[in-house]
Amino acid sequence: MPIPEEFDSERLAEIGLAILCLTASTDKVGTRAWKGMDWDVMGLLYERGWIGNPVGKAKSVIVTEEGLEKGESISGEVFWGRVIDWAPGHITMRRTGPLTSVMLLAVARSPPYAQLPVSFNVMQYKMKIKSLLEKYFYHDGRGPELQSVVWNSDGVIPKGFEYYNPDDGYEENNLKHIKLIGVQAYSMAGEEVHGNIKTLSNSHAAILEIVNSDWLASFLPAHINKCKHYQIMFYDEIYDMMCENIIAGKGKINA
């Protein structure tokens, strides 16, 4: 949608770049990030030389060296440990992801909340992430192509996935799979609606372990003491799995 004239376009561009850099990853081609943002904001970033041309079918966009440096600087200012102080009211957010502080700021500065005597103390919190099976399951700005979900005999719990990596030819001898061990819970969302896709700037792994997962902590611990939260990124689907382990292999799962 058109950007209102009263908006500070420079600051909007900076915040947009910071959000874009949250999903950035670097490979031999350069640094890329997912394009899930308003087109007019993307245009502001392109005009400033912070990203490549966003027009095209690719779901990611190149982030220039200048854009990456600027984005990391703005991210540190905006997302981590942001404190908004309006006494006498006071609210403390003990654990928050990066976008929460932005939403609090937007709400607090918008009518009718802007005049309320409330302070938000957003304490620093950074998610810990580990890569898994990068050699066997990886992305190049997009995840592997999911071919089929294999279910356990009851048809309720997923047993694993069969897929092609981004640089694989679509031939049977290139088919690969991952097996899910001890699944207790899972969720699936399209990559365009997931809203919390994780990547690591120094890794192409498309399976990540969320070490300090709030989602995992929300379940009763009695039967999940061996489980971990894994996020599995395919081309179009993102699976969040609570399971004990993930094992990679070649060919079909039941072969």
Beta strands 228-233 and 237-243, pairing class: antiparallel
User: What confidence score (pLDDT) does residue 107 get?
Assistant: 37
Instruction: Output the pLDDT for position 187.
Output: 93
Domain locations in the chain as residue ranges: 9-78, 83-122, 129-250
Instruction: Quote the pLDDT of residue 232.
Output: 96
Contact 20, 33 (CB under 8 A): yes
Place of tokens 């498309």: 206
Check: CB of residue 37 under 8 Å from CB of residue 19.
Answer: yes
| CB distance 121 to 92 below 8 Å | yes
Closest CA to 137 of 33, 239, 32: 239
Class of 9-78 in CATH: mainly alpha
How many whole angstroms separate alpha carbon 185 and alpha carbon 243? 7
pLDDT confidence of residue 94: 35
pLDDT 10s per residue in the chain (255 long)?
Answer: 566 666 777 878 888 887 777 667 776 667 877 777 777 888 888 899 998 888 877 777 888 888 888 877 776 565 543 333 333 333 333 333 444 444 444 333 333 334 433 333 433 345 689 999 999 999 988 899 999 999 998 889 999 999 999 999 999 999 999 999 999 999 999 888 887 788 887 889 999 999 888 888 888 888 898 999 999 999 999 999 999 999 999 999 985
Tell me the sheet residues that pair with 131: 208
Q: Note the pLDDT of residue 134.
A: 94
Predicted local confidence at residue 98, as pLDDT: 40
DSSP string, the chain: -PPPTTS-HHHHHHHHHHHHHTT-EE-SS-EEEE--S-HHHHHHHHHTTSB----SS-SEEEEPHHHHHHHHHHHHHHTSS-EE--SS--EEESS--HHHHHHHHHHHTSTTGGGS---EEE------EEEE-TTTSB-SSS--EEEEEEE-TTSSSEEEEEEE-TT--S-GGG-EEEEEES--EEEEEETTT-------TT--BSEEEETT-HHHHTS-GGG-TT-EEEEEE-SSEEEEEEESEEEEEES-TT-
Q: Which pLDDT score is estimated for 157?
A: 93
